[in-house]
Structure 1
Amino acid sequence: MALRTHRDFRLLWAGDTVSQFGSSIGRTVLPLLAATTLAASPWEMGVLSAAGTAAFLLIGLPAGVWVDRVRRRPLMISTDLLRAGLMLSVPLAWWLGVLTLAQLVVVALLVGVCTVFFDVAYQSYLPSLIGREHLVEGNSKLQASQSVADVSGPALAGGVAQAIGAANGVLATGVGYLGSALFLWRIKGVEPPPRPHGGRSLRTDIAEGLRFVVGNRSLRAIVGCTGTSNLFAGLEMAVLILFLIRDIGLSEGVVGVLLSAGGVGGVLGAVSANRWNRRLGQTRVIWLSMLVTQPFGLLLPLVADGWRVGLAMVGVAIATCGATVYNVSQVSFRQTVCPDHLLGRMNASIRFLVWGTIPLGGLVGGVLGGWVGLRTTLWIGMIGQVLAVVWVLLSPLRTARDRATTVSDHG
């Protein structure tokens, strides 16, 4: 069955789309709110950036065990509702005149906790919903929605911030999560019951998931590449908006347009990922997509007011296109090689290892931004992302002809 006629997948896709639009606006408008309305320092921006992803370090591993022990769709609905309530508290506090940076940090942290459970459940739910044979197509469509949201979200957030205040833009994030919960609730397919855990301890189940990931050389390489890239991306994002507004002097609207360029590249990457996987093979695409495109990201630290904004947009678009193709390919590879009963723990283990580096990068970025300057910090972040591909170049993925050769690649 083609996924475009798969009712339950269409509902999942619709829910993901509205959620991604809300999240994309929130990722831009929260730091804008901190930088403009609350006059946050570079260090405070780094703390806010780190808070949004710190949950992957704090609860990433046990989250995978819990996801494997419960039905995943109800868990996703519950976390959507919680995220909506948390985000809607921000404009409420602003209207009441009591909004503080501390509240933004707490909201970012708690939304991050909910996101850990949602994302692990979501990636573990997809194979049972559409079948493993449709994973690349399904992940490509879902990634396309995220990329379209990335195109319009920052620009919309920047426009809203200029027109009616950054706090009002957070409303869209809360509404997006509510819409996602509604679409997920309408899915009718019966989810397979979780496999009984037989009284195993939390530590035993966590260790089983980690052993599966660490014991496979190809998965280790993916973790190394993605984790390194995310570390330096966290460093970059901690200072980027502050750099563009304070050092370059761009308006909030132009900042939103510049950031949305990544979404344009993401759309191109998402819609072409399935084609590239069929033509070149999944394992080859994993390393080739990063090697060819990430150096274009080095155009971003060269940005200045005027024509170089356009040049930076081109670089961001190309780099994001390649990163999107990489993400679709490596996520589909992971879902294919992992047994059903380990999907939650595998996804959580990898999320813990690769997303846990982002808050570290955010904190380092905040320190470096105040020490060596915002542009130099941005250079360090972009160069680190370029070099991340070395992990997969030195792995079995570079010489494997197809994904089947790496399914049992332990050692």
Structure 2
Amino acid sequence: MISSGPPRRRSASFLTGALSQQLGMCVPTGMIGFVFMLSLGTWYHQTGLIQAAALLSPLLLALPLGVLVDRRRRGSVLVATGLVSALSLVSLAVAFWLRVTGTVYIAVVMAVLATAWAAGEMARDAHMPSVVGRERLVPVNAALFCVVSIGSLSAPLMLGDDSGIVVPVVLVAMAVASAASALLFRGVDPPEEPVEPAEPGTGWWREAVAGVRFTLTQPVLRAMTVYLVGSALMEPLIDGVGGRRPRGEGDHEGLLVALSVVIYAAPVAGALAAVLLHRRVGTFRLAWLAVPVTQPFALLLALTGTAGGPLWYLLGEFVPRAGWAVTVVALLSHRQVITPGRLLGRTAATLVLFTGLAATAGEFLKLPLIYLTNVFLSEAGFPERLPVLALGTFGVLAAAIPLMRAGRLAGPAFPVTAPPAVSPRED
């Protein structure tokens, strides 16, 4: 069982290792592939292969990775993924430095890197309750979320230098952070029950199916899945029409650039708000309450072409992004509390698979909707962004309804039961 008071040294070592792991993943794989396209002069179809390898490999391997995390010691998985990530990043840095344009080679390395990152995140989130204690999950998850957000904000600025030196240096720095995380995770050794062999006839596929079944039948986890899938499907619609800044001239344009920087910091503000409010409001209640309070502000993006456009742009982008961060941090922390330790990897894998598929479908859905909006509704006098924004906003609100209904089941000691076809390991 999870100890209520883990030693400070073990907790500090794990937190430092987790922060190093996040620094090693501060540049998304999609951005790395895009940088290779621009700097090495690859064709668009070659870039598509690289991007597809980085995006599809974690989805296709999500369920096996979840079983791996649940069947092996989480510390060993964290060390292995840290070393694999470091080697992959160094390989990409060397390829960039030598101007290696082998598309297949880069795609394979990117696929390995993306898979290692996915497995590392699953193992870290599954290992966290037994190391830091359940009462500190929200602050720790918020800290890790802030590192990712700050990295996403600074990565475009770092990689925008086309001198050919910055990119390899950034990749090597990420590799060093990944290797450091592996070293730090080696010093984390919380009491874990030994991994016992699975029951006869229980293969990896059966265990993966058991994890999916548990996620979709447990009421609170099912509500989380519905919300994450619905928001992943609808968010591309909002981003597709809301991501364009209002036009400005002179000093006004400088103001818009400054507002964009503030907007990129919204996830950090949301993570901090989750830390400040989760004890007073309740973790799960805070997760679903943030959606109806913040998501309707996205409709203000339809007013960016009117007087006061910068203000509507700031509110329409900043508030929903901050609310999304609150919800993500709170849902992750609550999932770690209510899920049995032996199923944490597989529930995470199920969510990764479903949300990834939904986000991909959302990207395809937004293109015809935006086209129809621009062609037909703009001629009728409607703000051309409003219909798509309304569809996306109300879609996210509808996806949060199961979270609200499940709120009465999400008490601090909500019991969970696991299906029989699972591995016997539990932290």
Under a length normalisation based on structure 1, what TM-score does the superposition of the two structures give?
0.77
Aligned to 2:294: 293
Contact 2:223 2:406 (8 Å CA) reproduced: no
Contact 1:46 1:238 (8 Å CA) reproduced: no
Aligned to 2:397: 389
Secondary structure of the structure 2 residue equivalent to 1:23: coil
Aligned to 2:128: 126
Give the superposition deviation at 1:26. 4.3
Within a 5 Å distance, the mapping from 1:8-407 to structure 2 comes to: 8-27=10-29, 29-30=31-32, 32-34=34-36, 36-37=38-39, 49-99=51-101, 102-158=104-160, 160-161=161-162, 164=165, 166=167, 168-199=169-200, 200-233=202-235, 261=262, 263-297=264-298, 312=313, 315-361=316-362, 384=392, 387-395=395-403, 397=405, 400=408, 402-404=410-412, 407=415
Give the superposition deviation at 1:61. 1.2
Paired residue total: 397
Give the superposition deviation at 1:75. 0.9
Secondary structure of the structure 1 residue equivalent to 2:116: helix
**Which one-letter code corresponds to 2:411 in the other structure?**
R
Question: Aligned equivalents of 1:358 and 1:303: distance in 2?
Answer: 26
Give the superposition deviation at 1:362. 5.3
When the two chains are superposed, the root-mean-square deviation of aligned CA atoms in Å is 4.4
Secondary structure of the structure 2 residue equivalent to 1:403: coil
**Which one-letter code corresponds to 1:388 in the other structure?**
V
Structure 1 pair 141–380 and aligned structure 2 pair: CA distance change class (3 A): same
Question: Aligned equivalents of 2:288 and 2:95: distance in 1?
Answer: 46
Higher RCO (C-alpha under 8 Å, 6+ residues apart):
1
Gaps of at least 5 residues in structure 2 are: 246-254, 375-383, 419-427
Structure 1 pair 52–405 and aligned structure 2 pair: CA distance change class (3 A): same
Secondary structure of the structure 2 residue equivalent to 1:229: helix
Question: Aligned equivalents of 2:164 and 2:259: distance in 1?
Answer: 18
Give the superposition deviation at 1:9. 2.4
Give the superposition deviation at 1:223. 0.9
**Which one-letter code corresponds to 1:152 in the other structure?**
S
Structure 1 pair 85–203 and aligned structure 2 pair: CA distance change class (3 A): same
Higher helix share: 1
Question: Aligned equivalents of 2:369 and 2:84: distance in 1?
Answer: 34
Give the superposition deviation at 1:360. 4.5
Contact 2:291 2:323 (8 Å CA) reproduced: yes
Contact 1:16 1:145 (8 Å CA) reproduced: no
Contact 2:302 2:389 (8 Å CA) reproduced: no
Give the superposition deviation at 1:126. 0.8
Structure 1 pair 133–146 and aligned structure 2 pair: CA distance change class (3 A): same
Give the superposition deviation at 1:311. 6.5
**Which one-letter code corresponds to 1:227 in the other structure?**
V
Give the superposition deviation at 1:296. 4.1
**Which one-letter code corresponds to 1:92 in the other structure?**
V
**Which one-letter code corresponds to 2:91 in the other structure?**
S
Contact 1:226 1:354 (8 Å CA) reproduced: yes
**Which one-letter code corresponds to 2:56 in the other structure?**
A
Question: Aligned equivalents of 2:171 and 2:42: distance in 1?
Answer: 18
Contact 1:261 1:314 (8 Å CA) reproduced: no
Secondary structure of the structure 1 residue equivalent to 2:61: helix
Alignment deviations for residues 8-60 of structure 1 (CA, whole Å, 9 cap, x no partner): 22222222223323422345742541563356788776665554332342111
Question: Aligned equivalents of 1:239 and 1:30: distance in 2?
Answer: 25
**Which one-letter code corresponds to 1:178 in the other structure?**
A
Question: Aligned equivalents of 2:110 and 2:242: distance in 1?
Answer: 18
Structure 1 pair 394–362 and aligned structure 2 pair: CA distance change class (3 A): closer
Alignment deviations for residues 276-299 of structure 1 (CA, whole Å, 9 cap, x no partner): 222222232122212222344567
**Which one-letter code corresponds to 2:173 in the other structure?**
A
Give the superposition deviation at 1:235. 7.6
Q: Percent identity?
A: 25
Structure 1 pair 192–3 and aligned structure 2 pair: CA distance change class (3 A): same
Aligned to 1:249: none
Question: Aligned equivalents of 1:256 and 1:234: distance in 2?
Answer: 22
Structure label with greater radius of gyration: 2
User: 5-14 or 26-35: which moved more?
Assistant: 26-35
Under a length normalisation based on structure 2, what TM-score does the superposition of the two structures give?
0.75
**Which one-letter code corresponds to 2:55 in the other structure?**
T
Gaps of at least 5 residues in structure 1 are: 245-253
Give the superposition deviation at 1:408. 5.5
Question: Aligned equivalents of 1:102 and 1:188: distance in 2?
Answer: 39
Secondary structure of the structure 2 residue equivalent to 1:197: coil
Question: Aligned equivalents of 2:112 and 2:304: distance in 1?
Answer: 34
Give the superposition deviation at 1:356. 3.7
Question: Aligned equivalents of 2:233 and 2:162: distance in 1?
Answer: 28
